[in-house]
Amino acid sequence: MKTAIINARIFDGKQSIGVKTVLIDGETIVSIGGEVPDDAVIRDAEGGMLLPGLIDAHVHTSVEGLRDALKFGVTTELEMMGGFTKAGREKQLSGMEDIADVFSAGMGVTASGGHPDELMPGDGEIPEFVLKELANMSEEDRNAMLAAHAHDHEELPELTNANEARSFVAEQVRQGADYIKIMIEEGSVLAAPGLPVLSEEILRAAVEEAHNQGKLVLAHVLTADSSREAIEIGVDGLAHLFIDRPASTPELVDQIAGSGAFVTPCLVLNSSIIGNTASEMADDPRVKEKLSEEWIDTLKSSFNTYPQGSMEDNFRNVMDLHRAGVDILVGTDVSVPVPTLGGLAHGVSVHHEMQLLVEAGFTPVEALQSATAKTARRFNLNDRGRIAEGVRADLVLVDGDPTTKISDTLSIREVWIRGKSVYGSEVQG
Ligand SMILES: [Zn+2]
């Protein structure tokens, strides 16, 4: 089936290219600015702007999370630890169409009892929202889901030396991990000081093995000190922005820029850690109507574990990196609807993150690049993140002009994933 989207202004992932017809055939964009074939279904997008499907470069997700993401035009979620490796996707997601696409790091390289254990409720206890989801599943799906959510200490082997770290990474790759995540978190800004962290030697071995296997390595780091360590051991990207701003920040910025690593700041998370809620987002009618009560409550709360931090420092940190030429990617660290992990929701927080980047000093176009083409390029996802011939037809049609007013990204008229319209108006023409 062919669909021609006509009369929309196009943002192609890098820039606005004016009003052009985008022709979809099956799952793929086949032409831009060409003729409309007789057999195409016509979608008149007058007054709207067409964007590539948005990408969230830092999530921990579920079927519910992937479904919510898609409602907000987020057509790809990149899981930074979780169950949706290739094996997990085959078990849990095959045949599902109303969900965002997902890639995953599998299990993270972390110390026994280290991050993110401190965020989990109880010991091996399954959170209530998971139980609710489990009740509606087949036995097979239930078992897969339980495996994915198993946070038992037995699940993560203790890594006591470099060789064990290497075989752990190799095992993640065997399970179909798309990239590797390492944790350097001593807990000071998460109200859990003294968390165990793996030694530099063990982490270095994990990074080497991942690179030998052709995989990118991302680091969980929330402070300037741990960011420096991650860069020194050779990671490809920082999955967070350091929340503090010591006097040595200019040297750290130079070091990150010199290494070529990208940074996914997750300003929405840092804002929550500092104690800010996302209540304004939750009250926006364009958000409210699409979310469950649990997620609305989650947006209206916050981590609040580092109230001494400031968004001004975070804005300065991210702008220093941006001006130094570091690729900044849009990510959120959204996970589950629990108030202590508040200020975040799937899909919504991508829009919020773009707004915070603009508040920090990005142009709206730069913020959009960071949620589309730039992320696709850094994760080698060559089939998405752009509106171009031959790529997946993952598209979002919005009212207004987000290249001048970033909050217009929330005025979603229609979303396509792999050429299929999954949200929006009825077929015309
Ligand atoms: Zn995370």
Q: Ligand 1: distance of its center to the CA of 53 in Å?
A: 21
| pLDDT for the residue 423 | 75
Q: How far apart are CA 250 and CA 270, in angstroms?
A: 20
- CA 308 to centroid of ligand 1, rounded, Å: 21
pLDDT band at 133 (very low <50, low <70, confident <90, very high): low
Alpha carbon distance 209, 213 (integer Å): 6
| pLDDT tens-digit map of 276-293 | 999 999 999 999 999 999
Ligand 1 center–CA 60 separation, angstroms: 6
Residue 409 has pLDDT above 50, yes or no: yes
* Half-sphere exposure in the Cβ direction for 269 (13 Å, CA): 25
**C-alpha 180 to ligand 1 mean position (Å):** 13
Whole-number Å distance, alpha carbon 77 to ligand 1 midpoint, is 12
Distance 238 CA to ligand 1 centre (A): 11
**pLDDT given at position 155:** 61
Give the pLDDT band of residue 232 (cuts 50, 70, 90): very high
* The two three-digit tokens of residue 317, written as one number: 């940190």
- Please report which confidence band the pLDDT of residue 376 belongs to, taking 50, 70 and 90 as the band edges: very high
Q: Is the pLDDT of residue 112 over 80?
A: yes
Q: What are the tens digits of pLDDT across the range 1-25?
A: 999 999 999 999 999 999 999 999 9
Give me the pLDDT at residue 157, please.
78
Closest CA to 237 of 349, 326, 350: 326
Peptide bond into 116 cis (omega under 30): yes
Q: Is the pLDDT of residue 193 over 70?
A: yes
What average pLDDT is seen over the chain? 92
Diameter over CA atoms, the chain: 66
Percent of the residues in the chain that have a pLDDT greater than 70, as a whole number:
90
Q: Tell whether the model's pLDDT for residue 162 goes beyond 70.
A: yes
Instruction: Please tell me the distance between residue 235's alpha carbon and the centre of ligand 1 in angstroms.
Output: 16
CA of 80 to the centre of ligand 1 (A): 6
CA–centroid distance, 311 to ligand 1, in Å, is 19
Q: State the average pLDDT over residues 237-253.
A: 98
69-102, pLDDT tens digit by residue? 999 999 999 999 999 999 999 999 999 989 999 9
Rounded distance between C-alpha atoms, residue 180 and residue 172, angstroms? 8
Across 139-162, average pLDDT:
64
What is the distance between the alpha carbons of residues 5 and 25, in angstroms, rounded to a whole number?
11
With a CB cutoff of 8 Å and minimum separation 6, the contacts of 283 are none
Ligand 1 center to residue 28 CA distance, Å? 31
Query: What pTM value is reported for the model?
Result: 0.92
pLDDT at 425 exceeding the cut of 70: no
Q: Determine which of 140-154, 220-234, 299-313 has the lowest per-residue pLDDT on average.
A: 140-154
Cα 6 to averaged position of ligand 1 atoms, centre (Å): 39
Cα(96) to ligand 1 centroid in Å equals 25
Q: Between residues 86 and 151, which one has the greater pLDDT?
A: 86
Contact between 14 and 386 (Cβ < 8 Å): yes
- 148 band by pLDDT with thresholds 50, 70 and 90: low
CA of residue 178 to ligand 1 center, whole Å: 15
Residue 2 phi/psi, 5-degree rounding, is -110, 140
pLDDT of residue 137: 66
> How many residues are present in the chain?
429
- Decide: 345 and 334 in contact? Cβ < 8 Å: yes
How far, in Å, from the CA of 273 to the mean position of ligand 1? 13
Ligand 1 centre distance from Cα of residue 240 (Å): 8
Which amino acid would we find at residue 18?
A: G
pLDDT tier for residue 118 given thresholds of 50, 70 and 90:
confident
Q: How many angstroms does the Cα of residue 186 sit away from the middle of ligand 1?
A: 15
